[in-house]
Amino acid sequence: MTTWIEAARRAAVVAVGAALARQGLIRGREGNISCRLDDRRFLLTPGGSDKRRLLAVELLVVPLGGPIPPGASSEALMHLETYRHCPAVGAVVHAHPANVLALETRGRMPSPQALKEGEAIVPRIARVPSFPPGSEALALACARALKRAPVAVMARHGVAAGGADVWEALARVEVVELLARLALEHHHGGAIL
């Protein structure tokens, strides 16, 4: 039976997916979102799903002890390992923000100190080296990074943000993208990507 808490969390994941797509933080079927349901299970977006028109009933329930159900997001392991390693994390948002990627490919990272909002919402940003998407190596590296920092930048790939809920994780992705945009603007003397 679906409880009202589960129904509310499913609706929040759907809304955050639409917000990511609307802001260009993901394109098409990119990105994935999850949130804890209880101490044994979490909700996860299905693989290859278009976040502009995700349905609450399409979200999968993943047990923390595994196995990952068929049809789950390709980054399911990253979400699973993050919940196993980080008891304080209640939700994870993974996106591919263009300015963060543009900055990272130049060998630079967004600086939280550039904005008061940055310092408050994302006091630390970790960097994860390049690993194949969906791999166990990437999943473990991200989980360890999110234990130290609320946001991890994955080299040549994107960002993973943890939060108490999906809205906090989304806000962190948004702030890191703004910080990256400001850093690029500074770098190029006014040209904003």
CB of 100 to Zn ion, least distance (A): 12
Instruction: Give 120: exposed, middle or buried? Use CB within 10 Å, 0-12, 13-18, 19+.
Output: exposed
x/- mask, Zn ion, residues 140-159, rule CB under 5 A, reads ------------------x-
Cis peptide before 67 (omega within 30 of 0): yes
118 in contact with Zn ion (CB under 5 A): no
**Total binding residues toward Zn ion, as defined by CB under 5 A:** 1
Residue 162 binds Zn ion (CB under 5 A): no
Least distance from Zn ion to the Cβ atom of residue 94, Å: 6
Nearer to Zn ion, 150 or 158 (CB): 158
Nearer to Zn ion by C-beta: 96 or 181? 96
Q: Does 163 bind Zn ion (CB under 5 A)?
A: no
C-alpha–C-alpha distance, residues 18 and 26, integer Å:
10
At closest approach, how far in Å is the CB of 3 from Zn ion?
A: 30
Q: Which residue has the tokens 């960002």?
A: 159
SS3 151: strand
Query: Nearest-CA neighbor of 71 among 34, 94, 46?
Result: 46
Q: Is residue 110 part of the contact set for Zn ion (CB under 5 A)?
A: no
| Minimum distance of Zn ion from residue 31's CB (angstroms) | 6
- Report, in Å, the least distance between residue 99 CB and Zn ion: 16
Nearer to Zn ion, 45 or 178 (CB): 45
Contact 72, 46 (CB under 8 A): yes
Q: Considering only CA atoms, which of 46, 52, 41 is closest in space to residue 3?
A: 41
Q: What gap in Å lies between CA 61 and CA 7, rounded to an integer?
A: 12
Between 74 and 113, CB nearer to Zn ion? 74
Interface residues toward Zn ion, by CB under 5 A: 158
